[in-house]
Amino acid sequence: MGSEGAMESEPPEVHQWRMLREAAGADVTIIDLYELVARPRGLAPHDLPLAERVALARSVMPDVWPGFETTGGSSRLGDRIEIVAYDDDWPRRYDWWHDMLSRSLGSVAQRIEHVGSTAIPGLPAKPIIDIQVSVADLADEPAYVNRIEAVGLQLRSRDDLHRFFRQPAGTPRVVHVHVCAVGSPWERDHLLFRDHLRAEPDARAAYAAVKYQAVSRWADDGWAYTDAKGEVIRGLIAAARRDRAR
């Protein structure tokens, strides 16, 4: 297993991006890498060919998510991001998947939670249910991978913080499952972010606005779409931590 499509020789822009990332951290994004490559050609970052953007992003994903790798045969080609109005049926869809996962995982799942935008009433979202499963030992993949794949999902990627499952190519993309360690920062931050947006109308409005802005440019590029929201997300998580501390 490994990062699919990684470039055989590293462009100088990737080295430059890594130096910037080391100096400024998460504020330096995948979009900044695209810009470093696009600018000498007189292009905007989103004007780079999609295949080139994908290869660039995959080449530095281990810098973004330490330990990142994708699994063989798990690519999905042609998926586009769509933001739709909140659907009152999303909680029911989550309950259905929750029951499926709970039966398959049994006591291995110490916690199963509805996370992401579909878990926040009134918030526009991708029509994909995000589910967070907390386990005792993230590294113990034999304890949970086959059980999650038994409900029709496929392990797409792993990194030091979580495992990501989705439907395989050729099937509708309706659910994402994120496995993390119980009590980990990954678990806490995603629940904190969800609960803050549920409680704060202004936070929901700010997040909805940046989602629409991001999808208007990056509907074909999930990594860039996520990074385009990053500054707002980090600000909202910081606000949520302050509120929790009070």
Closest residue by Cα to residue 77 from 221, 182, 244: 221
pTM for the model stands at 0.92
What is the set of domains in the chain, with CATH numbers? 12-64 (no CATH), 90-245 (3.30.460.10)
The pLDDT tens digits of the residues spanning 6-16 come to: 445 778 999 99
The pLDDT tens digits of the residues spanning 170-181 come to: 999 999 999 999
The pLDDT tens digits of the residues spanning 11-56 come to: 899 999 999 999 999 999 999 999 999 999 999 999 999 999 999 9
> How close are the terminal C-alpha atoms of the chain, in Å?
45
44 φψ region: left (φ > 0), alpha (ψ -120 to 50), beta (else): beta
What the block records as the tokens of 24 is 């400024």
Q: What angle do CA 193, 120, 219 make, to 5 degrees?
A: 85
Length of the chain: 246
Residues 6 or more apart in contact with residue 20 via CB below 8 angstroms:
28, 32
Spatial separation of the C-alpha atoms in residues 173 and 166, rounded to whole Å: 7
Q: Which amino acid is at 180?
A: C
